[in-house]
Amino acid sequence: MVIEINQQQPPQEVGLSRIAVSETHGEDSPYFAGWKAYDENPYDESKNPSGVIQMGLAENQVSFDLLEKFLEQHCEASSWGSKISAFRENALFQDYHGLQSFRKAMASFMEQIRGGRANFDPDRVVLTAGATAANELLTFILADPGDALLVPTPYYPGFDRDLRWRTGVKIVPIHCDSSSHFQITPQALEDAYNNAESMNIKVRGVLITNPSNPLGLTIQRSVLENLLDFVTSKNIHLVSDEIYSGSVFSSSEFVSVAEILQARNYKDSERVHIVYSLSKDLGLPGFRVGTIYSYNDKVVTTARRMSSFTLISSETQHLLASMLSDIEFTQIYIQTNRERLRKRYEMIIEGLRKAGIECLAGNAGLFCWMNLSPLLETPTREGELSLWNSILGEVKLNISPGLSCHCSEPGWFRVCFANMSEQTLEIALKRIQEFMGRRRSQHGETVFGNSSFFGALKNRKQKRKKSFLKLEDHY
């Protein structure tokens, strides 16, 4: 029986919640618009060779073969076999603490990727359905609607959704720029805090990504030390999103906030919380596995209670507990994955350099921070959007413009390189090189040489900052 709804008369509008009608989701950002353009015309080597190549997705596919090989050799990890009792055990009700075997394996894996320089207690590991859920859950716990978190720019575009949309919490930017390689300076911290106070906004914490998304760069030990001193002096929290900690090209180049706390004998540790997931380092975003690790007992207790809204299936935990408990496998995986990511990074950097494009020197992640400011017709938001539209429409590459990351300097773009084959990356680089060649032909010898490139960068810097500061109105 088909139910027909008579819509001849315009229906009376039914009210919805403030969350439902809120515009803070951020889906109108070019970051998401680029994804839509890719979905409508996706590149395929044989079926659609002129389609859009997705370089806006930070996904790690370079070591997926190692995971597949493990599962082939350990069928029991992904199937129940004759162990019907194991099926019953995992299919029936599980509380929100999660499987003890998985929490123990996660804690061990987190120690491994930090080179054993930090220790993690499995009883403090809170499981969530990905890092998105972990960051939102922590925001609910640490702040009330109308309060703010300080977040250094440029930052992951999804934070506008994850931290603000349902929580009602504000983001106050910590403005970082190329003069300090986008590292967080003490002055930038103080300026952001004072800015919030001037608007009568209560600051509840600082949230960082280490390694940084979108910079692909680790945070220096001295900066982490200063951050801990800062949040202690202000009596606020520090959230360290470390989901790319196993994607640093060399383990020695990454310093976790956990290491700093351990060196300080955990003084003032109750204000520190770490977010981790298996989406990036292990390349399993579809499994939706995230964790909160807090040194605060009340936060751990509350996070466990709230995690009942964002659980991980017992079958997923069973499989991953088996995988992560195999120390021989995880050691080989971590080492091989780091090396493959480093080689892929070098490949894209060299390809861009041949096109006359420079990038911020990086050492981690699944992307590079590309500087196209010399190509801007005007050093403004509009100039950056115009260039981005040209690259998306003409070159058929989806890259993420810096304005979607709230960068205060126009002309920077995040470019992902680990979510495709080397062959596809070569095609993408060829498209960029041809695009740059056409630009040179159209405009003659411009600012693409070494000295002129950096000269243009210096000359435009102040104009860029002024034109983009107005974009940071998140309050």
Tokens at 393, concatenated: 């429409």
Checking if the pLDDT of 249 tops 80, the result is: yes
For residue 470, the model assigns a pLDDT of 35
Asked if residue 277 lies in contact with residue 213, where contact means CB atoms within 8 angstroms, the answer is: no
Residue 280: active-site member: yes
Work out the percent of the chain whose per-residue pLDDT is above 70: 86
Going from the C-alpha of 47 to that of each of 44, 50, 51, 174, the distances in angstroms are 5, 9, 9, 45
Checking if the pLDDT of 459 tops 60, the result is: no
Residue 276: active-site member: no
Lowest mean pLDDT among 204-213, 267-276, 289-298, 306-315: 306-315
Average pLDDT over residues 168-189: 94
With cut-offs at 50, 70 and 90, classify the pLDDT of residue 351.
Answer: very high
Residue 396: active-site member: no
For residue 79, the model assigns a pLDDT of 58
Sheet (strand 170-174) strand order? 125-128, 290-294, 272-277, 237-241, 203-209, 148-152, 170-174
Tens of pLDDT, residue by residue over 52-71, are: 999 999 999 989 899 889 88
Checking if the pLDDT of 354 tops 90, the result is: yes
Catalytic residue selected from 241, 293, 349, 396: 241
- Look at residues 219, 295, 236 and name the one whose alpha carbon lies nearest to residue 261: 295
d(CA 399, CA 388): 8
In sequence order, which residues have a C-beta less than 8 Å from that of residue 162 and are 6 or more positions away? 132, 135, 136, 139
Is-above-0.75 flag for pTM? yes
Tens of pLDDT, residue by residue over 145-156, are: 999 999 999 999
For residue 25, the model assigns a pLDDT of 77
Mean pLDDT, the chain, whole residue set: 87
For residue 382, the model assigns a pLDDT of 93
For residue 444, the model assigns a pLDDT of 61
Query: HSE on the CB side for 220, CA within 13 Å?
Result: 9
With cut-offs at 50, 70 and 90, classify the pLDDT of residue 455.
Answer: very low
With cut-offs at 50, 70 and 90, classify the pLDDT of residue 88.
Answer: low
- Reported as type and span, the H/E element at residue 400 is strand 400-401
Asked if residue 419 lies in contact with residue 59, where contact means CB atoms within 8 angstroms, the answer is: yes
d(CA 151, CA 44): 37
Average pLDDT over residues 287-316: 90
Residue 144: active-site member: no
d(CA 424, CA 61): 13
Lowest mean pLDDT among 204-208, 230-234, 291-295, 304-308: 304-308
Lowest mean pLDDT among 78-92, 122-136, 415-429: 78-92
Catalytic residue selected from 31, 38, 43, 156: 156
Checking if the pLDDT of 464 tops 80, the result is: no
Count other C-beta atoms under 10 Å from residue 307's C-beta. Answer: 23
With cut-offs at 50, 70 and 90, classify the pLDDT of residue 442.
Answer: confident
Average pLDDT over residues 209-234: 96
Tens of pLDDT, residue by residue over 323-347, are: 999 999 999 999 999 999 999 999 9
d(CA 180, CA 327): 39
Checking if the pLDDT of 169 tops 90, the result is: yes
With cut-offs at 50, 70 and 90, classify the pLDDT of residue 250.
Answer: confident
Tens of pLDDT, residue by residue over 92-131, are: 656 667 888 899 999 999 999 998 999 999 999 999 998 9
With cut-offs at 50, 70 and 90, classify the pLDDT of residue 266.
Answer: very high
With cut-offs at 50, 70 and 90, classify the pLDDT of residue 318.
Answer: confident
- Look at residues 289, 237, 271, 264 and name the one whose alpha carbon lies nearest to residue 109: 289
With cut-offs at 50, 70 and 90, classify the pLDDT of residue 453.
Answer: very low
Checking if the pLDDT of 297 tops 50, the result is: yes
Checking if the pLDDT of 216 tops 90, the result is: yes
- Reported as type and span, the H/E element at residue 108 is helix 100-113
Catalytic residue selected from 174, 184, 243, 357: 243
For residue 92, the model assigns a pLDDT of 67
Tens of pLDDT, residue by residue over 372-412, are: 999 998 999 999 999 999 999 999 999 999 999 999 999 99
Catalytic residue selected from 104, 170, 280, 396: 280
If 0-12 CB within 10 Å is exposed, 13-18 middle and 19+ buried, where does residue 252 land? exposed
